[in-house]
Amino acid sequence: MRLTTLLSEAAIQDHSQDAAVSELTDKRTPLLLRFKANRTGSWLLELNRDGKTARPKVGDWPLVSAAGARRQLEQLLLNVGQGEPASLTAFCNVAELAQWYVAREQRNSATSASYKSSSVSLVS
């Protein structure tokens, strides 16, 4: 089943556990999230030209969040308009990468407490 909603992480989490939902489309943008069998997803860009619909894959969810996909949408559309391949990146800048790394290390049970505290101090 395909649902149209305002795509946000909360909306995705609400519908990701429902096996009947296979796709979520955004009301505001041409972004589409198609769920896989393991309930991860693929970001697709829904483009309509000459009466045909193309849906190139531009990224993976949850690696790229809904907010991250929306932030990069303008550049994706420019790339497509110029005939270049379009793809989402997981991190827009080094600060986002550092925040992701620290959060990942905090969740890792194999990481020692001293390493967790030093990884936080390195980023802040």
Give the residue extent of every domain in the chain: 2-81, 94-123
pLDDT value at position 87? 57
Which pLDDT score, from 0 to 100, does residue 67 have? 83
CA 93 to chain centroid, in Å, comes to 15
Kindly state the tokens that stand for 22.
């296979």
Enter the pTM of the model: 0.61
Q: What does pLDDT average to over the chain?
A: 80
Per-residue pLDDT at 110 exceeds 60: yes
Rounded to whole angstroms, the Cα distance separating 55 from 124 reads 40
Q: Which of 119, 122, 71 is nearest to 93 (CA)?
A: 71
Residue 88's pLDDT band (boundaries 50, 70, 90)?
A: low
Confidence grade of residue 91 (pLDDT, cut at 50, 70, 90)? low
**Per-residue model confidence as pLDDT tens digits over 61-80:** 888 888 888 877 777 777 76
At 19-75, the pLDDT tens digits run 888 898 888 888 889 998 888 888 888 877 778 877 877 788 888 888 888 877 777
Supply 50's token pair.
């000459």
Whole-number CA gyration radius for the chain: 17
Domain 2-81 is in which class? alpha beta
